[in-house]
Every structure is written in structure tokens, then in C-alpha cells.
A and B are shown apart, each in its own frame.
Chain A
Amino acid sequence: MSTITDSAATSARMARSSLLGDIKAVWTRETLTILRDPFSLIFSLIQPLVFLGLFAPLLAGVADDGLGFGSTLQFFLPGVVVMITMFGTSMTGANLQFEIMTGAFERILATPLARQALLIGRALKELTPLVVQALIITLVAVPFGFDLYPAHIVLGLLILGVFGVGVGALSYALAIATRKNEWAFWAVQQSLLFPLLILSGMMLPLETGPDWMQALSKVNPLTYIVDAERVLFSGTFDDSAVVYGIVAALVTCAVGLWVGVRTVTKSIL
């Protein structure tokens, strides 16, 4: 049976744990909810397809530029990928709030896991199905005249991943801040999400919008992400929009993690 030496060995193993290992452990636990309940994944895959299938034809009609449906898809699909990323990662906190309420979060806080790993692991879990979703809608779009650039898409998804971790961390912090009243989480999440999405030019181009909208879109980090994704999905690496997108993703990620870790260490559950 267990002896003191056993415990000493245990401590030695613990000492070797790394941030990366911690992130993987948190991600694995979170991902188990998807693995154990695949229906939620299947359902979430259908949603962006419906959106793409119903919205893109309308947009093609409005923006009749003579280049055909393929061109509309080229504009619209990267936007949908960004949108599902925003939907998914901004909800990171909702799952967390449930675990704050039941007590599982406190138990996990009491383990030696690195605080950053708690945030990053959870955000990455929300990103995991998104990668699958993004790949599926991209492949589905190909027969309709969408041009596929795999290497560019990989970079595009990486930028989205970094950005998504930042958004997830902010959502996480919001969940902790609003842990006493659940509705407040949704109120803040929803009232931020849609203005950010619309003001990024994700759904409709902003060039035709009023000046104030264009000005606001300049300070919206999401704008730079959307622009970078459009450029990348159309097969260009060599564009300043890609650099701006990377910078916007890194800044969002850094701010998100800073706010998130601060909130975790300062709050009393």
C-alpha cells in the first residue's frame, strides 16, 4: 500500500509539470464533454452550414458584382469562420460559470495547475470544434466556386486560435466577475458580441457605411482579424493586413490572459 516514499515520488513527478502539460490536461478534461456527448458537436457543425447556405445567396444578390457566387463566398466564408470563432470562444465563460456554481471550478483551482493553463485550456477546448467546423464549411464551399489555399488557411486558423484564446480568457474573466448573477454574463456577452461582429465588416462590407461606423471599425481588433482572414483565404501571404491581423491576435491574447489571470487570483469564489 501507500507509503511515505510513494508520496515523495508523487511530489517529484509534480515538480516536472509544465505549463504546456497543464494546458493539455485542462483541454483534455474539457474536451471530454464533447467526446462523451457527440451530439452537441454534430449540432454545432450544422449551424455554420445553415448560416452560410442561407446568407451567402442573399449577399450574392445584393452585391451583384458580376463575378458570381464564388466571389461572394470568397468574401463571406472567412467572415463566417471568424463569426463561429467569436460565438464559440465568447461562450467559454458560460461553461465555466456552471462549474463555479456546482463547485468543480474550486476543486480545480485547488490543484497545482498553472492559472494560465486553466484559461488557455478552456479557450482551446472551445476552439477545437471550430477548427473542424471551419474545415467542413470550407470544403463544402469548394464545389460552389470557392478557391482553396490550404497553407493560407492553416495560418488563418492559427491567427484565429491565438485571438480566440484571448477572447476565451476575457469571457472567462467575465464569468468570474458575474458569478453571482448568470444573466449578467449573457447580457454583457451578447451586447458586446454583435456590435463587434457588425463593426468588423464580417457580415457586410463597411466601405459603404457611414463615417462613424468606419471610425469605430478601425479601433475594433476584430476588423483586423477579419481583414487578415479574407486576404489569407484568397491566397495571399504578402499583404500588410496579415501582419495587422497577427498583431491584433497577439495583443488580444496578451490582454485577455493578463485580465483573466488577474481575475482568477483576485477573486473570492
Chain B
Amino acid sequence: MIHTQQLTRTFESGKETVEAVRGIDLDVAEGELVAFLGPNGAGKSTTLRMLTSLLPPTSGTATVAGIDVTADPAGVRSRIGYIGQKDGAGHNYRVWDELLMQGRFYGLDKQRATERADELLGTLDLEGMKMRKVSTLSGGQKRRLDIALGLIHEPALLFLDEPSTGMDPQNRANLWDHILRLREEFGTTIVLTTHYLEEADTMAERVVVIDHGRIIADDTAEALKAEQAGDRITVTVSADDLPTTREVVGQAGTEVEEVPADGCAAISFRVDAGPVALPRVLHALGDKGVAVNAATLKQPTLDDVFLNLTGRSLREGAEA
């Protein structure tokens, strides 16, 4: 569906040249659900804009839905759907008018556009909103209308730029229901950008981590977490049991760290499959007569992955 080679984009800002995207090689197969994850300014949106032909690349090539973005941008645009960060629907328009016009922009005839608009109002829970002015819709309704607009021509490939930014958790979950259903029913290939870790973690099957205009990791969330961070077990034992514990832990895991406290110590270590390893370690310690005071298992998040890759946190509020 997507194939890029050394896709690059620089911007001239005064006398400075900003390299927003520095040589991205990416392949996305049909039916994949891919999330571009990275901090603000990492180059996610710029990459998306080049893939959707909204921005010409400075160098490199990109083939999207079988078409070269530089050679035939309009051809690319007619085969993809794009849902931007802001409201797609014009505030001064009626919902129905915008849907029909969008159909016309994609070359649908009136009958087909009407059918599609009706279908989409139904699937996106917007029935009864037909004659409403867009500016009077709620945030969640506007977002669903944006999705309807992006799907009017049944694209096989859909791009979403920060689809759930600013939405409350309930609306976000609702949005994802719609996106996932779309994929299940039509096998739509979906590429989205996000800086919400949980979103990339739970929804996307493949996470492409982008930082400073480069892809720094590309795999399933599970694999990224296992490779880049791993599960960590922490057991707290009394100071007397420390030597025995060290011995057991040394065999069970790696990257052992000790935090001594008053009369006891917390030993943490990395294991491959935390939920399986934890009972085994506890059992082994019990067999050797160690009384474990407390045990915790921490499974990594994508933030740990990002932290491990870049030394920085992706959490909101954390300075990138």
C-alpha cells in the first residue's frame, strides 16, 4: 500500500534549514493498522502530509496506493482518505450539504453520493444531524462527521492525523470503535499519527516510533516493549536474606538493581515473560527459605520503549 525510499523534507525558516523528515524508508502492506508515534515536532505530520501528497518531498520517493506522490498527486488523493487534525467540515455548512459536496469532490455522481452519505450518517451515529449546522455539533459529533467525510469515496487506505487529540476518554473510545469496525468490515489500511502512548499501545498493530525526523523503531507494541524495555520484577526481602536472594535472582533475570532500605532491600531485575517468571521466582525463593515481604511486576509501556531509545520521556508535559 505504501512504499517510501529515503523520504526527506526540509523547511527553510529564515536562514536556517530545518530537516523535518530525514530519509524515511517505510513499507505498509494492505490491511495493516500502523501508528506513527513520537513527540510533537518529530516529523510525524510532515511524513503524513508527504504520503497524502499535500506536501511535496524535498527528496526521496513515495508510492502510495500504487501511485507515485510526486508524479500524480491528484491520483493519490483520489485513492486515499485523509482526516486532518482540525475540523474537516466547514462550520457554516449543513452536515448533509458537506457530505454531498465531499462526494462530488471525489467525483461521485449524485445518487452514489446520497447513498454513501446516508450509509455513513447511519454507521457513525449521526442520524438526525442532517440539517444541523456544523458549528452547532458537539466535539465528538464533529469528529465523527470528519470520519464520514474522509470515507465518502470508500478509500482502501485511510490516513488520520492525531485523530483523538483533545477528545474525552469516552469519545475517544467511541472513535476507536468506529475505526476498528471499518477495518474489520472493509479491510481498510489505516495509518495514523498519535502522541498518546496508550492509544498506540492498545489500538495499533504496528508502531513506528519517529523522533527527529527518523524512524527509530518499527514493530508491534508487544515486540517493542519486550525488546526495548522488558518486564521488571521487584522483590523486597529482609537484609539477612539478601545473599540468597541475589543468587536466585541472578539466575532468573538480568539487569539486577538493589535499593537498600531500613533492615531490608528491594531487588529488581529484568525478565522476559513477567507473569510466568514471577511465580517461579517466588517459588524458588520460598524453597531456599527466603521470606519475601513484597513482590511487584512492572510491565513496560511504550514510554519506557521511547525512554530507552532516546533517553527522553514521551509523557505529556515532559519536555521533548
Residues of A participating in the B interface, judged by any CB pair closer than 8 Å: 1-2, 6-7, 10-11, 13-17, 25, 28-29, 32-33, 36-37, 98-99, 102-104, 106-114, 265, 268
A6 touches B154 (CB 8 A): yes
Residues from chain B with Cβ under 8 Å of A107 in the complex:
82-84, 88-89, 102, 146, 149-150
Q: Contact string, B75-119, partner A, CB cutoff 8 A, digits 1/0? A: 101110011111111111110010001101111110010000000
Q: In the bound complex, what is the Cα–Cα distance between A99 and B106 (angstroms)?
A: 19
Inter-chain contact B107/A268, CB cutoff 8 Å: no
Q: Please indicate which of the listed interface residues B84, B155, B156, B186 has the most CB atoms of chain A within 10 Å of its own CB.
A: B84
> Which one of A32, A109, A110 has the highest number of Cβ atoms from chain B below 10 Å of its Cβ?
A110
A109-B54 contact in complex given A10-B106, A103-B84, C-beta closer than 8 Å: yes
Q: Are B88 and A268 in touch, CB under 8 angstroms?
A: no
A13 & B105 in contact (Cβ 8 Å cutoff): no
Question: Which 3 interchain pairs have the tightest Cβ spacing?
Answer: A103-B86, A107-B88, A14-B107
- Spell out B's residues near A (CB within 8 Å): 11, 49, 52, 54-56, 74-75, 77-79, 82-94, 97, 101-102, 104-109, 112, 146, 149-150, 153-156, 185-186
Contact A113 B105 (CB under 8 A): yes
Given the interface pairs A32-B97, A33-B92, A103-B87, the reply to whether A110 lies near B52 with Cβ below 8 Å is yes
**Do the beta carbons of B107 and A104 come within 8 Å of each other?**
no
Question: Whole-angstrom distance from the CB of B283 to the nearest CB of chain A?
Answer: 54
Task: Please give me the residue from chain A that is nearest to B82 by CB atom.
Answer: A110
- Chain A residues contacting B150 (CB-CB under 8 Å) are 107
Known pairs A107-B84, A111-B102, A265-B56; list 4 more (Cβ under 8 Å).
Answer: A28-B104, A107-B146, A108-B105, A112-B105
Nearest-CB residue, chain A, relative to B86: A103
CB distance from A20 to the nearest CB of B (A): 13
For this complex, 27 residue pairs linking A to B, each with C-beta atoms less than 8 Å apart, are A2-B154, A2-B186, A10-B153, A10-B154, A13-B109, A14-B78, A15-B107, A25-B104, A25-B105, A32-B97, A33-B93, A36-B92, A98-B92, A102-B86, A102-B91, A104-B87, A104-B91, A106-B86, A107-B82, A107-B83, A107-B146, A107-B149, A109-B54, A111-B77, A111-B105, A112-B74, A268-B11
